[in-house]
Amino acid sequence: MRILIVEDEPNLSRQLRQTLEQAGYAVDSAMDGEEGQYLGETEQYDAVILDLGLPEVDGLTVLDRWRKAGRKMPVLVLTARDSWSDKVAGLDAGADDYLAKPFQSEELIARLRALIRRASGNASAELVAGDVRMDTRSGRVTLNGEPVKLTAQEYKLLSYLLHHKGKVVSRTELIEHIYDQDFDRDSNTIEVFITRIRKKLGAELITTIRGLGYSLED
């Protein structure tokens, strides 16, 4: 899952990035509204964290432009403390959730997880396919109840497939959702990760659909 952070405070931005990467997300960040708007329009994100007070273009305008351009990714707006008018304006402009500054990173992560889950139609924090279970809160993956250790990239890939269980996911889509912008993207590595995941979790878990991509069945 890939997240965009649009936040102009360098310390907060860095901190958010670190926290999210540790939680298993691919992360891009923009320091002003103009760059943020551009990234949100041209890249594929599973969720966006958007500060409202931004240089160049303010957060509400950015959000409004995304929605008018048909961009539907879930957006969590960061508001100034106690500013109820910011919250209302954010929700009216098409935000899916908000969080007032200062906030605990645990709360931010929990809200993001819920947003991403809902956007992909999953009600539970635990994602299941056959004998494989992923607890998106702890990042724990089990096979028949036994813990299985995955690398960060394997986890990202499996998480995306589990969130989109039953759908055919192309290699391009996987690349767009498990790597950040700066990553040297090589589509051959996807095949390598799939092979490793099959070795760890069973060959039948992921089906290859020739010429189209991959699919997880129940």
Judged by the rule CB under 5 A, the positions of this chain that interact with Ca ion are: 8, 51, 53
Quote the CA–CA distance of 196 and 192 in Å, as a whole number: 6
Q: Kindly state the smallest distance separating residue 205's Cβ from Ca ion, in Å.
A: 43
Q: Which residue is nearest to Ca ion (CB)?
A: 53
Q: Is 28 or 154 the residue whose CB approaches Ca ion more closely?
A: 28
At a CB cut-off of 8 Å and minimum separation 6, what does 96 contact? 74, 75, 76, 115
Q: Kindly state the smallest distance separating residue 90's Cβ from Ca ion, in Å.
A: 13
Tokens standing for 89?
């304006």
Task: Report DSSP letters for 76-110, one per residue.
Answer: EEEE-TT-HHHHHHHHHTT-SEEEESS--HHHHHH
Q: Is 8 or 64 the residue whose CB approaches Ca ion more closely?
A: 8
Give the relative orientation of helices 152-163 and 187-201 as an angle to the nearest 10 degrees.
80
Q: Kindly state the smallest distance separating residue 125's Cβ from Ca ion, in Å.
A: 30
Q: Is 77 or 158 the residue whose CB approaches Ca ion more closely?
A: 77
Q: Is 76 or 197 the residue whose CB approaches Ca ion more closely?
A: 76
C-beta separation of 15 from 86 below 8 A: no
Q: Kindly state the smallest distance separating residue 12's Cβ from Ca ion, in Å.
A: 8
